[in-house]
Structure 1
């Protein structure tokens, strides 16, 4: 009876053992894999600076846990593998572009699962926080507020830290460089996987000077990633991994690199359980011991889950705090902020935007299409093409009527991106520039009146000359009206003098009269002559030689009155700059350049010191003993409004050249987004 019982136990034990070690499915899979071994080499990228997973040892050999696993897969799976060590970011990029077939050792995330396919898990990896041993008060991610953290480049970690207020992040290419930032004092903490941190600290002999805090952060599966859809390679890798698990080689590799136990039950341990199950009727003590060990493991897991739950609650609280902080920012800023979904519905609108556009019932505006709001739609009508195409619009000015008041509103329109750089909507920021425009117009008027005051003496002289000629002909008329030659000269010169007088007066009135800006195409040479005639007496009195080099056929697209104010100011500056100089010469030339014309005003004056060149466009900065320092400021603004620009080059003691850049033709209507007028609401 005893012998028969022993025979039954032996048969059961052998059956269970053979069933565990050699399942038919595994053997069939391995046989199939070897039969279909690829002739081409499989390129697998590995992280080149991630001990103990993959790194170069002191002998310059590539080694590590991932390396041993890949070598075992190659030996047993009949796959010819070429290992390619890369920086982590380069490895991911190489897999995305197909330069490699797989990456050994990639943390599984939902975002990556959309890009790659993953093998069976080979490790459970997480992150931890490393700080100097003497530092207290940093136990969790939330405690990093106000500190500097060093991390390896990782969108996941960077996104996690972006939710913590006032944390500064130093990003390195790999975890070794990130840990070195902590050791060199350039960071207060390092965030990375604890196994790499322990190995590096041990190699530096600094284990006692630093500590690991915070527990496991975001634990996840660690596996081999292949290009999405490469199911043939994925099946071969998984088949080989199952084989080395079954024959115990997996455990041997694991324990050769890590002291702690695996987070999953291994094949040999399963076989022990099955053997113990056969003899459990014989040994109650062994069953009790197993039950005790199982309870310890459950308690450990329960503790880990509790800690993970606490961390999750803290992260949720942190997210809620960040949401509140963002809401406070939106409420506090003076600029209007509006966000639209991809279909044009309003997702965010802050109080400043409501105030600028005079909108009410904020709660009713959400999930409303922007075109259904008359004022918002009127403001965005000129930019509907840009909004539809997700294009940027910068500093575009819209003039519109709101509650019977004309408002000048500046718009910036940008595509709204998520963390993966995908377009998720449109961001619109607006500013009410009405008061600024009124003040700017007032400054322009004041500067114009100042220029008129300076022109009075020259204009009076120019008016007196034709009047003198008219008076002379009038006085001679009674005595010489019978003289044919006199009548001919009178008929020739008198109309010329009257036309000259009329031109001076018309030009003066046209310049001084308040006028709405109107950009148009006009002849540059004629426009310049109408300006220089006002300076004839001033040039003569001050001994200034004027030379112009302007093609008679050149045209300019701008507001002639605004551009005249710019030219007057530049000529006045040139005259003042030559005061006291032995050589006084003013050269004005025009140089065409594509769709632009460069009008250069060059004087032979004292020049501008180099240390003051960057200040000349600042309001109220002046090098003169008189004046308020607004001339160049106003001129620069007027040039910008006419699609132009002013630049200055000067050599102290040799003179100054001011270049006025203008358009020679009207710009493309699709490009002219700097000033728009819309209907009122």
Structure 2
């Protein structure tokens, strides 16, 4: 027989069993009586006693009402049978004595035992339960069954059934209480190690006292006992009435309803629930069989697909190995490139711990012979340590990308000039997670720069000498000519008039050239102070305002009123006047004459721009405008812009020019802000 056939037969058997389980509703309908007695000739009064501290079976509630499952059960019997029950709440031992003396007719909720059956007659059981133990939670490891009660003290209500149970346990001590409530209080007062009672009463008192978290209920300790009604011997009429009523209530469902109100789901309801669960389980097993069949068929198909995919995976694995080898070779290649680069490279993590260093960096820092380099070895040079500490100045964004500084180090008794560049490294979210430090040895470049600077000085000196010679030669030639003709034409009045006219002009020009040359060669030390740019520009423009009006030049000012700079005001005034006069000369022949002076902050510097709409300059002229004795004016000396450039540099500033032929010129002077 195949596996699938066995599963099918099992499902059919479960379905057959489920179909034969009767529900409580159907049993109630089949066993319900065809009629009920509608009236009684007269009501018989019976006195019923019950334990007043046995919740939830019989107890006096907070309102003083005697209630509980047993009480409500007998009230239902009295209504059904047309009799009257008078209830007397008392302790069990009092009820037993009252029953013996004939003061009551019956005691409800008494446990059946062989000893008690000799004294009283018992009805059919209307509730079955087993005793439980209530112990402190810290004692649950020591007490798990009856044998663990040796040498322990048990508090309980006096009951023959409970005594019979505990007499089998040797060396156990008893403490008797009048009722379950008092017994529970003895447990709370630590006068006993355990409390023996039924499950429902134990849970009631634990919940009422709020001690559920401190005590544990141990079930399956005692033997199940029957709750029944005890009457005096010979009281067969009352006993028959109770038994018949209990049977009717079991049949018509009243008992189940009352049971559910006090204890929850009735066992018959559990049976119905189990039947429903069997049906659900049958459906689930059927679905599982269907899934198994589908899985079997699908597995066959998957085997072919797996074989195909396995082949493809093997091919992909071969390709992956090839790629891994290529990546490894590429990594080794990149490592060789990094170690043999001209620049030194060091990387640090966010805590400035050295993570990598190439061979060039080791050589530049004098660490060539060390295999293991630590951060302490790198920052032993104070300049390098200061640069690395700038990492803390970088913020968690990409705005500030680099810090650069050239430092002078002494390695192996040799001075080296190293250009250091500190670059922050960022994660994808913009948070910095380390930095990169590059080292460039500029010692040879520095030496070449010094050689080129000397050559440039010599070239400039030669150009300066040539310019001076050229500028002085012309007036000297004129003076020599007059001196040579002086003996022959001294008596000629026209000659003397020409001599007086041209010789002083030549001497004046020579004196101007010499004074400008002295200013260029021996500039005075600038007297720097704080200057409010707006007021300074207004004072300068006031000097040339008449000239502007005479030449019909439109002046526009765009000055930041709060901009302050640091410089020598006299030198800056000479620079501004020179630039303005040059702008006037450039616009002399232009139809539209616009002169603009603009001043605004640019980072840590202040920028002053002089913009004109003049003829502009070509690229050739721009490359020479700051050289001495270079001029494009017919009567210029060529030292004005050279002196201006030198003065701006002496004030820690810079000057640049932007121009285009026939489109005007813009000179920009930048000086430190205050």
TM-score, reference length from structure 2: 0.36
Larger Rg: 2
Q: Larger RCO: Structure 1 or Structure 2 (Cα < 8 Å, ≥ 6 residues apart)?
A: 1
